[in-house]
Structure 1
Amino acid sequence: MTEIAPKQTLYIRNLNETIHPNKMREILYTAFSRFGPVLDVVCIRSNKLRGQAWIVYEDVSTATAAKKKLNNYSLCDKPMNIDYAKETSDAVLKLKNPQEYRERLRKRRDEARKRKEMEDKAILEGGAAAPPAKQAKTEAASAPVVAAPAQPAPRNVVQVPSEPPNKILFAQNLPADTKLETLENLFKDFTGYKEARLVPGHNVAFIEFEDEIKAGHAKDGLHNYKIAEKVFMNLTYAKR
């Protein structure tokens, strides 16, 4: 295994996963600030990063001293595994190279946007109705059938089963010239609004909130909203 070069940032593993990240952040700060000024403590609440954290010091020597002293130290009934981080932390990069830091943030935003677009596309394609099965050529099939005309659905509305409440709304029946700014202005006054994402070429959008309750309030308030002359926006919960 390639040895990681000493850095100002330490990577901590095997933390007690039962402790809330905010509380763990305080505990880590108290434990590691004894060795010198701590620039940042990163402890994220996600399944992928459970039991992990990053400690950022002002200099490498302080990080090395803390690593030497606290590696395998029992914190909250679990021994910490400490190593140097593989990459330079955001806090350090921001101080040493602001331009490179801004470029890192830009790339991160672009990657997040692309992931969202792929997720939105998958949801949209998954909700579209499948084409009707081809009928076999039989005498019964060839006989004329008289049926009542179906009630046409609003334009651009994909007929999908009702989805359970979640934090993302699916907006349909939008005018072709709908601007992102228009949707942002409509939804931003609802508590918990995070972002709106138009799907190019489909006249639909995804509106994301902090949780399903806040999304539900917006859905109740803006479903069938008259977004243009004789055009009413259709809001449902997005397929998850």
Structure 2
Amino acid sequence: MVDKMEGVIGGVVNSADYSVPIETVYVSNLEERVKIEELKAALHAVFDHYGTILDIIAKISLKRKGQAFIVFDQQRSVLDAVEQMDGFEMYGKAMRVLIAKTPSDETVKRKAPGEFDEHKKRRTISKAQKEAALAKELQAKGPDSTATTATRARPVKTGAAAIPDEYVRPNKVLFLQNIPADVDADTLTAIFERFEGFKEVRLVKIRNVAFAEFEDEQFAITAKENTAGMAIGEEGKSMKVTYQRQ
């Protein structure tokens, strides 16, 4: 499922980059201990004053806590909300309210449906670039930067092995894990050859893993975003798709 929060981060906006207005506000520094549904209700009650709210997006994951996106039906509502609500206290904390950097899915689907696929593609590329930058930063800091309380007692990995799979820098080869015994190279080829730039699949049967190679990393990024978590085999096992470690 596409993460609707990706690519919609508060900051400096260049509206000339988009054919539709940005009708979303990005709210941060929210109280993280409040339940999501309660938080959404509170945000709706506060921001409803500025116009019709189409969607409120908030997540419970650690990386997304304390922030939300509020999608209005017109840009005027966004401008008013940012001007008047930045610094407003909710649950004892001053909210940070900014214009989102990009239009929301809802806005693009409503006002430029023909551009929605391109909008998703740009977001996918932006997400991959952020992951690549984070991976590079983690590699520069060394293995301690990825350690947690639960993992410090384990033997320390070094180099690329210390980087979690989700932060491996994008490249043209995808690493496929959790391959069921009843899935062969032909089956995997049929899955990945649908994507532009596909070259080959190499299956390592004894380890239940495989590699899918593409002409360049942009083709691989598209394939990864569309196959990660795909159910394969007779039992419908979820396939893990990451990038090959360099």
TM-score (norm 2): 0.48
Structure showing the higher helix proportion among its residues: 2
TM-score normalised by L of structure 1: 0.49
